[in-house]
């Protein structure tokens, strides 16, 4: 049977930490807590479960904190946990079965991260696989009988374990602060982080958040990068143009997005909002319809679902067609994201 170190990064988690650690008790061979500056009872709660509690000076870098937590682990595998996660009894049994049966060649175990859509997270699926369990010491193997090379791809196993995400609130304010800190020190966001920044803007961002992000995304729009990456940038800058009532900016980036051949639902929705504000409800219905039925979302799944359906209802209400307005409202009320 394998042994497992659970590694957590925490700060002011007194409301949820016991719930998380109770669900880990008995599954983990050691629990490592990295505290990044709690001023509540987080450390006192942690001491009820482990004596391996370490302070880490926070400087807006989760990777640094994760690396520090991994450096303290001593077991065969490392389980990465957050304080707002829970493993219920059904999945605790699956987890224990995994401990008894996991093959030594497996280096990463993925588990389904669930309950995502309820809390406005940056993901468009309620359940998705995430790497959660990592082999602590990795062995490198040479492959190929000639022109040999080291195999660098980890052996990954997709388990049937569900990790339930139960946050007290979303982390948008924290995330926006970190994004801007990275940008202001002159660093370029990775493609992954740029995409997540745009997603979070569309899911929970205020008008001010968009305006703060605008200069960075304008710079990225000038780069020679693939259309699929540019689409995300177009969505942000199109929204900024509409909010500022800058028609030239709005149409510039909307048209670029559409001209690429695979328009974003977010852009079609923005066009609907543009014409709705001008009280051209008939034109607005065309764009909302395209958002709901003819395109796919690139950032927030709601922009190809209940959002445009609800606005179609509003348009038809303005146009005096109450039958259509009612039909679209019912579609919006019963809409559910595809799993």
Digitized pLDDT (tens) for each residue of the chain, 339 residues in all = 999 999 999 999 999 999 999 999 999 999 999 999 999 999 999 999 999 999 999 988 889 999 999 999 999 999 999 999 999 999 999 999 999 999 999 999 999 998 755 555 555 556 789 999 999 998 778 777 766 787 888 999 999 999 998 877 767 788 899 899 889 988 888 899 999 999 999 999 999 999 999 999 999 998 788 999 999 999 999 999 999 999 999 999 999 999 988 999 999 999 999 999 999 999 999 999 999 999 999 999 999 999 999 999 999 999 999 999 999 999 999 998 875
In this structure, what token pair is assigned to residue 299? 């950032």
Cα–Cα distance for residue pair 216/182, rounded to 1 Å: 11
Q: What is the pTM (predicted TM-score) of this model?
A: 0.76
Beta-strand ranges (E) seen in the chain are 4-10, 30-35, 53-55, 77-81, 85-86, 108-114, 127-135, 142-143, 149-150, 156-165
Q: Give the pLDDT of residue 284.
A: 98
DSSP 254-312: HHHHHHTTS-BHHHHHHHHHHHHHTT-HHHHHHHHHIIIII-B-SS-GGGGTHHHHHHH
Q: What is the pLDDT of residue 170?
A: 66
Residues 6+ apart with CB under 8 A from 248: 241
| Whole-number Cα distances in Å, 13 to 10, 58, 63 | 6, 15, 19
Give dist(CA 179, CA 189) in Å, integer.
8
């Amino acid at each position: 049977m394998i042994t497992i170190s659970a590694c957590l990064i925490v700060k002011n988690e007194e409301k949820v930490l016991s719930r998380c650690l109770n669900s880990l008790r008995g599954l983990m061979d050691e629990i490592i807590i990295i505290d990044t500056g709690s001023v509540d009872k987080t450390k006192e709660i942690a001491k009820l479960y482990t004596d391996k509690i370490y302070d880490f000076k926070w400087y807006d870098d989760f990777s640094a904190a994760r690396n520090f937590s991994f450096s303290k682990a001593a077991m065969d595998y490392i389980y990465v946990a957050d304080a707002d996660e829970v493993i219920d009894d059904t999945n605790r049994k699956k987890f224990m079965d995994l401990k008894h049966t996991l093959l030594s060649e497996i280096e990463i175990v993925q588990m389904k991260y669930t309950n995502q859509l309820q809390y406005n997270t940056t993901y468009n699926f309620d359940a998705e696989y995430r790497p959660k369990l990592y082999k602590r010491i990795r062995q490198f193997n040479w492959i190929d009988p000639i022109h040999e090379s080291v195999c660098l791809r980890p052996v990954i196993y997709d388990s049937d374990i569900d990790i339930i995400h139960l946050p007290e609130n979303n982390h948008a304010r924290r995330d926006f602060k970190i994004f801007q800190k990275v940008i202001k020190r002159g660093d370029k966001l990775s493609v992954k982080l740029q995409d997540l920044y745009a997603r979070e803007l569309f899911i929970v961002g205020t008008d001010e958040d968009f305006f703060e992000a605008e200069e960075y995304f304008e710079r990225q729009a000038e780069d020679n990068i693939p259309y699929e990456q540019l689409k995300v940038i177009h969505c942000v800058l199109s929204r900024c143009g509409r909010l500022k009532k800058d028609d030239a900016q709005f149409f510039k980036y909307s048209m670029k997005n559409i001209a690429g051949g695979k328009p974003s639902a977010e852009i079609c929705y923005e066009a609907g909002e543009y014409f709705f504000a001008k009280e051209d409800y008939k034109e607005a219905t065309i764009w909302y319809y395209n958002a709901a039925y003819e395109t796919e979302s690139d950032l927030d799944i709601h922009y190809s679902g209940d959002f445009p359906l609800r606005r179609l209802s509003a348009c038809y209400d303005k146009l005096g067609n109450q039958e259509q307005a009612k039909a679209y409202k019912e579609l919006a009320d019963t809409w559910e994201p595809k799993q």
